[in-house]
């Protein structure tokens, strides 16, 4: 005989925990086969997904999504507001170019040299910057980024100065050079994004990530417990810098070169906007913010050059012809009406729905007939 109590289950199963991984793996598979499909998204992509223009835009989206993920590790996990994160992105890009051009090594050793160089720069600058906290920390990182930008702009012989540095294609395999190989570059950018995501996920779920989060909430309490918050923050800082350098390497290959703007603080501010737009502290939010900002930046630039804008009065034509103005307005609207960003708003809605469902189940439990509390033998 089957005995039922009529009590609803309040504890979710393990299927819910595995669902994000299943969704993530499915999205990676979809992105991997996207260059083989003929899908058009008017107003978003310049053409079908298999065309070089669309693949180049999607690749750029993934590069900046990886950069936003690395910055989210710094800001969302460890709570460190840095204005110099672009320094390590530029170190990866310029480091690869210098390694290929002056050391004349193949691509893969060049990538390793660029990564090691970016990590070394992060260790030195991070160790100095984290002697202070809060706004002083942000200002010190800004100073390092500006110093790096000056070195890049003034060193004409090594970095190309204001004109930027071209990718030494002689040291790069043919399947990663040219418009004809945009599909391969797209897959390379996808691999970089997956690697950065896995590294960030590992840090967030490790003891290091938990210690960094505890330090973000109350550093003094962590010190009282006998732990070392400075070391934890420095390791997170270096790991985030390494992920940014890897994104810079992908940018160098994708764009066949780099510019001094890849080192300056302006790029860091852009990445900060991406993270805030997607939702600080959410990995998938950083990816969404990076992709959305990059697409808007590219498409709004095309919109600003539209003929119909030229026919508008000056009061409308002037602001609409400036993509940064439109992006600024969008950012203000997000901060005002979606303070948690896209991911934060979605998460709050899900939590609210789960809370309502739990309250409903508890109400049903309270309203269950008294018969459910009677002994089983009596009801049998």
For the residues of 192-256, what is the DSSP string, one character each?
HHHHHHHHHHHHHHSHHHHHHHHHHH-HHHHHHTT--HHHHHHHHHHHHHHHHHHHHHHHHHHHT
> For residue 87, what pLDDT is reported?
96
pLDDT digits (tens, 9 = 90+) for 110-146: 999 999 999 999 999 999 999 999 899 999 999 999 9
Predicted confidence (pLDDT) at residue 380 exceeds the cutoff of 70: no
Predicted confidence (pLDDT) at residue 11 exceeds the cutoff of 90: no
Predicted confidence (pLDDT) at residue 170 exceeds the cutoff of 70: yes
> For residue 90, what pLDDT is reported?
96
Mean pLDDT for 276-305 is 88
Arithmetic mean of pLDDT over the chain: 87
Q: Which two tokens stand for residue 295?
A: 């697409």
> For residue 86, what pLDDT is reported?
95
What domains are there in the chain, each with its CATH number? 47-365 (1.10.3470)
Predicted confidence (pLDDT) at residue 15 exceeds the cutoff of 70: no
> For residue 313, what pLDDT is reported?
83
pLDDT class for 20, splitting at 50, 70, 90?
confident
**Cβ-based neighbours of 68, under 8 Å, separated by 6 or more:** 271, 274, 275, 278, 286, 287, 289, 290
pLDDT digits (tens, 9 = 90+) for 145-163: 999 999 999 998 999 999 9
What global pTM score does this model have? 0.89
Lowest mean pLDDT among 65-74, 120-129, 211-220: 211-220
> For residue 196, what pLDDT is reported?
97
pLDDT class for 12, splitting at 50, 70, 90?
very low
Q: What is d(CA 67, CA 240) in angstroms, rounded to the nearest whole number?
A: 9
| Strand extents, DSSP E, the chain | 165-166, 257-258
Q: What is d(CA 70, CA 275) in angstroms, rounded to the nearest whole number?
A: 10
Mean pLDDT for 6-26 is 61
pLDDT class for 187, splitting at 50, 70, 90?
very high
Q: Which is it for the CA torsion 272, 276, 281, 286, positive or negative?
A: negative
Q: Which two tokens stand for residue 367?
A: 């309203």
Contact (Cβ atoms closer than 8 angstroms) between residue 289 and residue 297:
no
Mean pLDDT for 370-378 is 51
Q: Which two tokens stand for residue 323?
A: 């993509």
């Amino acid at each position: 005989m089957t005995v039922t109590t009529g009590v609803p289950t309040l504890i979710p199963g393990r299927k819910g925990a595995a669902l994000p991984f299943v969704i993530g793996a499915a999205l990676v598979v979809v992105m991997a086969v996207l260059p083989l499909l003929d899908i058009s998204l008017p107003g978003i992509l310049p053409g079908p997904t298999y065309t070089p223009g669309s693949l180049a835009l999607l690749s750029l989206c993934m590069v900046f999504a990886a950069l936003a993920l690395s910055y989210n590790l710094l800001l969302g996990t460890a709570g460190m507001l840095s204005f110099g994160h672009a320094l390590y992105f530029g170190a990866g890009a310029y480091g690869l170019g210098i390694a290929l051009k002056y050391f004349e090594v193949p691509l893969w050793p060049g990538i390793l040299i660029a990564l090691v160089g970016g990590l070394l720069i992060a260790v030195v600058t991070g160790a100095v910057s984290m002697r202070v906290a809060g706004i002083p920390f942000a200002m010190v990182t800004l100073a390092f980024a500006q110093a790096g930008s000056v070195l890049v702009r003034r060193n004409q012989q090594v970095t190309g100065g204001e004109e930027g540095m071209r990718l030494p294609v002689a040291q790069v395999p043919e399947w990663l050079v040219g418009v004809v190989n945009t599909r391969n570059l797209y897959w390379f950018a996808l691999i970089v994004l997956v690697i950065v995501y896995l590294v960030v996920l590992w840090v967030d779920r490790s003891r290091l990530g938990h210690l960094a989060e505890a330090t973000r909430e109350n550093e003094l309490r962590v010190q009282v417990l006998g732990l070392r918050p400075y070391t934890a923050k420095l390791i997170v800082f270096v790991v985030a810098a390494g992920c940014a350098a890897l994104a810079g390497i992908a940018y160098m290959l994708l764009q066949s070169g780099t510019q001094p703007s890849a080192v300056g603080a302006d790029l860091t501010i852009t990445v900060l906007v991406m993270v805030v737009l997607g939702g600080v502290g959410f990995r998938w939010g950083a990816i969404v913010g990076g992709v959305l900002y990059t697409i808007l930046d590219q498409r709004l630039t095309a919109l600003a050059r539209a003929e119909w804008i030229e026919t508008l009065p000056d009061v409308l034509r002037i602001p609409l012809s400036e993509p940064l103005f439109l992006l600024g307005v969008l950012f203000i609207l997000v901060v005002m009406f979606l303070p948690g960003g896209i991911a934060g708003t979605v998460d709050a809605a899900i939590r609210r729905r789960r809370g309502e469902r739990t309250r409903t189940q508890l109400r049903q439990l309270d309203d269950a007939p008294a018969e459910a509390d009677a002994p089983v033998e009596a009801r049998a």
